[in-house]
Chain A
Amino acid sequence: SQQGEEDPQALSIQEGENATMNCSYKTSINNLQWYRQNSGRGLVHLILIRSNEREKHSGRLRVTLDTSKKSSSLLITASRAADTASYFCATRRRSGNTPLVFGKGTRLSVIA
Chain B
Amino acid sequence: EAGVTQFPSHSVIEKGQTVTLRCDPISGHDNLYWYRRVMGKEIKFLLHFVKESKQDESGMPNNRFLAERTGGTYSTLKVQPAELEDSGVYFCASSQDWGSSGELFFGEGSRLTVL
Q: Spell out A's residues near B (CB within 8 Å).
A: 3, 30-31, 33, 35, 40-45, 48, 50, 88, 92, 97-105
**What is the bound-complex CA distance between A33 and B4, given in angstroms?**
19
- Write out the residue numbers on chain B whose beta carbons fall within 8 Å of the beta carbon of A99: 33, 45, 48, 56, 59
Grouping DSSP codes into helix (H, G, I), strand (E, B) and loop, the A interface class, with mixed when no group exceeds half, is: strand
- A42 CB, min distance to chain B CBs, angstroms: 4
Q: Which of B46-105 contact A (CB under 8 A)?
A: 48, 55-56, 59, 91, 93, 98, 100-105
Q: Spell out B's residues near A (CB within 8 Å).
A: 4, 33, 35, 40-45, 48, 55-56, 59, 91, 93, 98, 100-109
**What is the bound-complex CA distance between A69 and B42, given in angstroms?**
22
Instruction: Given contact pairs A50-B100, A100-B104, enumerate 11 new A-B contacts (beta carbons under 8 Å).
Output: A31-B100, A33-B102, A35-B106, A41-B109, A42-B106, A43-B104, A44-B106, A97-B98, A98-B56, A99-B45, A103-B42
